[in-house]
Every structure is written in structure tokens, then in C-alpha cells.
Amino acid sequence: MFLSKTIKTVLGTSIINDVRYTQVCFHRFKFIPKLRVPEWHFRVERRAKDRDDNLTERNKRFINEMSKKDHEKASLLKVPTVEPKEWKKGMIRCGIVAKKLGYYPLWTKDGTRICTTVLQIIENHVIKYAPPGEFNPTMRKRLGNYNKKGCLYIGSGEADPNRLTANYMGLFKESGVMPTQRITRFIIHPDAALPIGTSINALHYRVGDYVDVLGKTVDQGWQGVIKRWGFKGGPATHGTTKNHRRGGSLASGIKSRIWKGKKMPGNMGNRWRTLRGLKIWRINRKENCIWVSGRAIAGAPGSLVYIYDTVLPLRQPKEPLHFPTFLGDESKLPEDIYEETIHKFGDLTITFEPEK
Amino acid sequence: MLRILPKNSNYFVNSQFLFLRHSSSAPAAATNEKNKEIANYADKKRIKKGSKKIPNDFRFKYQDFLPSPTARYRNSLLEKLMRKDMLERRSQVHIPEFYVGSILKVTISDPHSQGKTNSFVGICTQREYTGLCTRITLRNVIDHQGIDVAYDIYDPLIQKIEVLKLEKRLDDRMLYLRDALPEYSTVDVNMEPELLAEGAPVPVNETIVKMKPLPWMQKWERKELKGIENLDQYLNLWRKQQREKQATPWEKYDLMKEYRRTIPEEQQNKIFSEIFDRINKINEEHKIKAKAARRTITKPQNIR
């Protein structure tokens, strides 16, 4: 009885004085990356217990008809035309969400092989545009002053609307676009804004330009020091016991404590990582695919990645980019667009003529 | 490009395994009349779906078109793109039917000696990967020195791939030739091609190899190879015991494992029905080209 009384009093005081009574001293802080949903965003999929899977066939038919109507509505969406503008250095364009497919070898005309990965660009639709006054990110300190920049909200990937929550579907209501798998924000220059409902293609980028790709690395779970940091471990023989895969000593006696950032066992993978300065070698217009150099793009094949123009100063484009997107006639271009140095598979075999 | 393999290249997909399962979806023995009807119906449906009759040896002849069976690396779009590029490359260079154990001659244009070609003759010891990435290794002994050369089949530097002797061996991977006596991996460089009649079955060469004494590159005794004769001669007691301990004789009865390392018949038919017309056309073109090349051979004028 006495205990319960005390707890009640403590809780009561805590609300008034705003004091927390959690014990911190022996609390072990672990970094476990979670899916942190931002304020403007809602839970995407309904929980399994909330879903009504026991629908009758008649009801299912009804839902399918309604969703068909929505699709028709979305297809009839009128998108206002945009006129191309002049691109200048430092004007940030919109990015693209893509699907990582896998490894693909290409050969140059010299005969050297290039390792590339294929990125399939799934459906990207503009949902919303927040002009510089409205856009107000929560992490302002770290990102800098964004009063001069706008933000594009882009929905990407197909989703079954029967599985989505009502709150999440509400985000698409104004635009009239069918609800998608994912919504992303791209911070842009206000001149690069696109009207609601426009779709972005693979032709947003050109062959020969450089690109940054952001993705989430494969989750390896809790790993030891050898796999996570590449430590050497202990000797296998000579009387060692229980010291084969250990990290050794943590610190020396001078400081008499562990330095911050000491490499230790822990959760490996499942982090956002970018690869910068990847060249575009080939573009397929029909299948919306981009061939990008490098095999080490973050994420397993089939996962979603984000593509941006490069930040690297020495790999900036020499000719002005398509701004805000590619607005020319697609039908004039060939189906496969190659970089100049790359050997097409349909061409004759490579032969070297002797020097004179 | 020329690529000489490192000594400890342990990673390879066993590509010959992919094609064993073909009759997986064949209806079970129809005891009742009802079952027979169902089976007949299924056969009719299959013929309708496939529409083209694909010969059974297609899965051996064109192994490269079948994707890797691991599910997490598979993607239908990527496979489709690869198939298209492979056919385009095949229209330029004739890539013949060959197996592990058959003798090949590969000629490539060499960037280091310009205006000339570089050719290599050897036994095909392994086939790695699938699709555009397929890679073969040839082995030969030249001037008492064993040499392994790896070629990407779809490399645009390759000018010609010839099969000098079409045959199979007892094993799917022949990397143990590196530790065998050199006489088993020597091939005459100026060998003339041995021709087989069209439609004849591929002969199996049943030669059994003698190994050199230890040390070996890998523990061959654990791999259940049929093509080696004198394995027990060099093994000590501990190694023999280990072989018995680590053997997994039940694995050949594991249906699930076999399912995971093969591609089902329906998917194979879907793939081959896509390429069927195109590849036949390409083969005919290459035949015409080869005939024309034979006719144009003329005697050099200097000979008297």
C-alpha cells in the first residue's frame, strides 16, 4: 500500500514539475536504427489485425471497381506544360527514386570491361511543391538556411490502395495522383519546381554525366569486430583460449578510459550511405533504365535508391543540364543511348589496326 | 581480355547443375482415369502456352540464357535486357555448343600486338556464372608449364570460338587437372577439328586421371569426383577419416536443395520460346557465312 502511494505521488509531481524519474546511471544506450517517420508523414501500411481480409467476393469486386475508377481519374489528370529554362551552376534539380536491379558488364571500344549496375526508374510523380517560405525542415541547424530553397514531394512505386492507411492516402488527395509506395522530399532551387502530376523519366539525366546515389545498406545484424571493422583477431594456436575473434585491448593506461568512437562490436549495416561521382554509361528509354558505374551501390538488389546530380566540384556537367526536366520529343531519340566510348553489342568485333 | 586465374579461385556457380531438372512438372503416374484426364488437359494447356515445340537439348546448348537460380539475385527485367544483348552479340560471333571437357580454340584481337590475333587451345575446365557474365577457363600445358586462361564469352574482343573436339567428361568441374599429371591436360596446339554428324549424341570421354603427389590445391577427396583414379594412394589416415566424417551422401535425395539450384521447366520454356526464332535465324546466317568462307580458300601462288 505504502509503495503504491509513493508511486502515485511521484507521478503526480512529475507531471507538474516536468521531472523524469528514469534511472540513467546504468542504462545502456544502444544505437538501433529505427524507421523514424517525419511529422508530415503517416504510417503507410495498415496493421495486419486492422485489415479486413475476410471480405466477400462481392465486396472485393466493388473495391476493385472503385480503384479502377480512381486509376482512370488519375490518368486523365491534366498537367500544365512547362517551358524549359536556362540552367546555371549551383541550381539544384529534382532527384529520382529508382530500383537497384543488379550487376551488368559493359565493354569499351578499347576492349576493357566496365562494371556497372542497372537502376530501373520506377514511376515518379510530383505530389506537392512547397515554395521557399513554406518549406521549414525540422533539422534546420544541420542543413543550413533553407529559406531560399523549395521542396518537391514525389511519390514513387506502385502500391495496393487496399493495404494503405486512410491518413497516408490523404496526402495524395490534393494532387489527384494514385497513392504510391513511398513519398520522398527533394530540396531544390525554386526555378526547378514542377507542376503537380508530372512524371519524371530516365531522360531526366544524360549519358556521360555524373551522379550521386543514396541507399540503405544491407542489414547484417549484430556483428563482431572482425567482420564489422576488419580486425585481425587473436592467434589460432599457441595456447590461446577464448581469444580468437576478440578485439584485444580497448585503450592504454595514459588516459585511463576508453576514447570516444572506439571500434567495437555492434549493429552492422542498415544505414544510409551515398556513393558519389558515378558516371552514366547507358540509358534505355523504353524500360526506363540507367547504367551507372560501380558495383557497390548501397542496398540489396530490388531495394529503392535515390539518384541526385553530383556535388563533386570536378565532375560538374560541361553542358547545361535539362532544366527543370527533359521536355523535348522522346520519339526522335533511339531506344538505347550509349556513351561515346562504349561498344554496342550489335557492332562488329573490335580489331586493332597497326600504327603507321 | 586475357585473364589468368588466381590459384585459389574457389568461387564458382556450378552451372551444369542448373539444367538437370527438366521433367519436374511432369504429371505423376496417372492411376485413375480422372488423373489421366487432368494430365492430358495439362499437356494441352502447356502446348498452347508455349506454342512452339522447343527441343530438349536447348537447355544444354544454350546454358547461358538461363539465369542464376538464387532467388535474391533474380530480376525479370534484368534478364530480359541481358538476353537481348546476348542475341545481338551472337549475331556477330558464332558461339557453338560445348561442354566442360571439350577442347576449344579461342582467338582474340590483341591490343598489345596490333593488327594481329592471339589464339589459345585447351580443355574447358569450368563454366562460371550465367547471362552476359559467363566465363570459361581453358587449360593446356605448353613447354612443361601448365596454363589456365579465362575468357568472357560475350567479350567483343573475341573473334572466333572453335570446338576442336566436342565431348563430355565424367565430372562437371575439371579443376583437378591442375593437380593431375601433365599428360592429361596437354593438347596439341595445331590440332585439327574432329567433326561429328549433325544430331548425333555428344560422346562421353571416360578417361580416368592420375594425380600428382601432395600438396594439392583443394581437398579433392571430399568432392565425390568420378574422374580420379589414385586418390587413396596419397591420403593419410587422418584425411581418410575426415572424408568419411564430412561426407553428405543424403544430399542427393534432398529435393528442396535440388529445387533451389535448378530452374523449373515452365520458366525455361518461357525463356527459350522468346529466343527460339531469333537464334535459329542467327545459326543459319553463320552456316552460310562458314560455307562461303570455305569456298574462297585459294592456294597461295608462291607454292610450285
- Residue B75 in contact with partner chain A when CB distance is under 8 A: yes
Distance from the A107 Cα atom to the nearest Cα atom in chain B, whole angstroms: 7
User: Considering CB atoms only, which of A111, A289, A349 is closest to B81?
Assistant: A289
Closest CA to B58 of B13, B85, B24, B97: B97
Predicted pLDDT of residue A55: 83
Strand bridging mode A113-121 / A289-293:
antiparallel
Is B78 in Cβ contact with A118 (below 8 Å)? yes
Q: Is B42 a member of any domain?
A: no
User: Considering CB atoms only, which of B1, B78, B82 is closest to A111?
Assistant: B1
Write out pLDDT tens, residues B73-132. 999 999 999 999 999 999 999 999 999 999 999 999 998 988 899 999 999 999 999 999
Predicted pLDDT of residue B282: 95
Strand, coil or helix: A295: coil
Predicted pLDDT of residue B295: 77
Which residues 61-100 on chain A approach chain B with CB closer than 8 angstroms? none
The number of helices, as runs of H, and strands, as runs of E, in chain B is: 6, 5
Predicted pLDDT of residue A253: 81
Q: Is B276 a member of any domain?
A: yes
Q: What separation in angstroms does the CA of A181 have from each of A27, A157, A273, A288, A307?
A: 37, 5, 21, 18, 17
Sequential pLDDT tens for chain B (304 residues): 344 444 444 333 444 444 444 433 333 444 466 666 666 665 655 555 545 688 888 999 999 999 999 988 999 999 999 999 999 999 999 999 999 999 999 999 998 988 899 999 999 999 999 999 999 999 999 999 999 999 999 999 999 999 999 999 999 999 999 999 999 999 999 999 998 988 889 999 999 999 999 999 999 999 989 999 999 999 999 999 999 999 999 998 999 999 999 999 999 999 999 999 999 999 999 999 988 988 776 666 666 5
Closest chain B residue to A112 measured between Cα atoms? Answer: B1
Q: Is A233 left (phi over 0), alpha (psi -120 to 50) or beta?
A: left
Q: Is B80 a member of any domain?
A: yes
Distance (Å, whole) CA A306 – CA B30 = 54
Closest CA to B56 of B227, B236, B201, B168: B201
Start-to-end Cα distance in chain A:
103
Predicted pLDDT of residue A54: 78
Distance (Å, whole) CA A9 – CA A13 = 6
Predicted pLDDT of residue A51: 73
**In 10 A of CB A171, how many CB atoms?**
20
Supply the Cα-derived Rg of chain B in whole angstroms.
22
Total residue length of chain A: 356
- The CATH number linked to B179 is 2.30.30.790
pLDDT < 70 regions, chain A: 1-39, 52, 136-146
Q: Is B181 a member of any domain?
A: yes
Domain coverage including residue B151? 58-281
- Residue A102 in contact with partner chain B when CB distance is under 8 A: yes
User: Considering CB atoms only, which of B75, B88, B132 is closest to A105?
Assistant: B132
Q: Is B250 a member of any domain?
A: yes
- Residue A314 in contact with partner chain B when CB distance is under 8 A: no
pTM of the model: 0.83
Distance (Å, whole) CA A100 – CA A273 = 14
Total structural domains within chain B: 1
- ipTM reported for the complex, 2 dp: 0.84
Q: What separation in angstroms does the CA of A162 have from each of A45, A53, A58, A350, B239?
A: 9, 10, 15, 54, 61
Is B92 in Cβ contact with A346 (below 8 Å)? yes
Q: Is B19 a member of any domain?
A: no
Q: Is B133 a member of any domain?
A: yes
Is A301 in Cβ contact with B73 (below 8 Å)? yes
Distance (Å, whole) CA B122 – CA B129 = 20
DSSP-derived secondary structure letter, B172: S
Q: Is B12 a member of any domain?
A: no
Predicted pLDDT of residue B17: 42
Closest CA to A79 of A191, A204, A178, A196: A196
For chain A, percent helix, then strand, then coil, each to nearest 5?
A: 20, 25, 55
